[in-house]
Amino acid sequence: MADNIEVLGRETSISNSENKVLRNTYALLGATMIPTVIGALIGINTSFAWLFAMGPLMQLGVMFGVFYGGIWLVHKNANNAAGVWLLFAFTFMMGFLLGPILQAALSLSNGGQLIALAAGGTGAIFFALAAVASNAERDFGFLGKFVVVGVVLLILAVVANAFFAIPALSLTISAVAILVMSALILYQINQVVRGGERNYVLATMSVYIALYNMFTSILHLLMAFAGGND
C-alpha cells in the first residue's frame, strides 16, 4: 500500500512538472508576440533596398545568419535568465525581417485582409494542433525524424530556388513548409506533455519558429492565389 502511494506521488509530481513546463511555454510564447509585432512594425517602415541589392546567396546568408545565430545563442543560454531575453531579442529580429513580405502584401489592394487571414489561419491551426498534441496518451515522437528530414529538404529547396527563382517551386516550398511546421508543433508540444522536453525556453523557441514559418508560408500562398492588384 505504501509503495503504491509512493508511486502515485511520483507520478503526480511528474505530471505537475510537465504541466508547469507547458504553462510556461504557452505564457512565454504569448510574450514573444510583443517583440515580434514591434519588430514587424519597424520592419514595415524600413527600406530593405540594401538587402535586395545583394545577390540571392548573400540575402540567404544574412537571413540564415540571423536565424541560426539567434537559435544558437538561445540554446547556449536556455538554462539561465539570459535565455529568455535572448529569445525576446531573437523574436524581435524575426519580426523585423517580416518587413519585406509585409511590405509586399500591403502593396496589394487586399493586403491587410491577407495578413489578417494568414495570422488567423496560423492561430487556428496552432490551437487545433495543440489540442491534439496535449493528449499525453498519444505519442507523436515518431514525427521527430520527419521534421528533421523535412527541414533539411526545405533548406536545400530554398537554396536551389535562390538560383532558379521558379515560382512553382516557391509555392511548393510554402505548402510543404506548412506541413512540416504542423508536424513540428505536434511533436514539440507532445514532447512537453509527455516529459520529453523540460526546458520551456527551448520548447517556446521551437513552437515560435514553427508558427513564424507557417505564417509566412500561408501569407505567401494567399498573396499568390488571392492577392488583389490596385
pLDDT at 10: 44
Residue with cell 492565389: 225
How far is 159 from 131, CA to CA, in rounded Å? 34
Q: Secondary structure of the chain in the HEC alphabet?
A: CHHHHHHHHHHHHHHHHHHHHHHHHHHHHHHHHHHHHHHHHHHHCCCCHHHHCCCHHHHHHHHHHHHHHHHHHHHHCCCCCHHHHHHHHHHHHHHHCCHHHHHHHHCCCCHHHHHHHHHHHHHHHHHHHHHHHCCCCCCCCCHHHHHHHHHHHHHHHHHHHHHHCCHHHHHHHHHHHHHHHHHHHHHHHHHHHCCCCCCHHHHHHHHHHHHHHHHHHHHHHHHHHHCCCC
Residue of 179, 183, 154 whose CA lies nearest to 169: 154
Render the burial of 52-62: b for 16+ CB within 10 Å, e for the rest: eeeeeeebbee
pLDDT at 16: 61
How far is 14 from 135, CA to CA, in rounded Å? 15
How far is 189 from 26, CA to CA, in rounded Å? 10
* pLDDT per 10-residue tile (average), the chain, 230 residues: 47 61 93 97 90 78 89 94 94 95 94 96 96 89 93 91 85 95 95 88 96 97 83
Q: What is the pTM of this model?
A: 0.89
pLDDT at 228: 72
pLDDT at 18: 72
Contact by Cβ (8 Å): 63, 212: no
How do the domains of the chain map onto residue ranges? 2-226
pLDDT at 13: 46
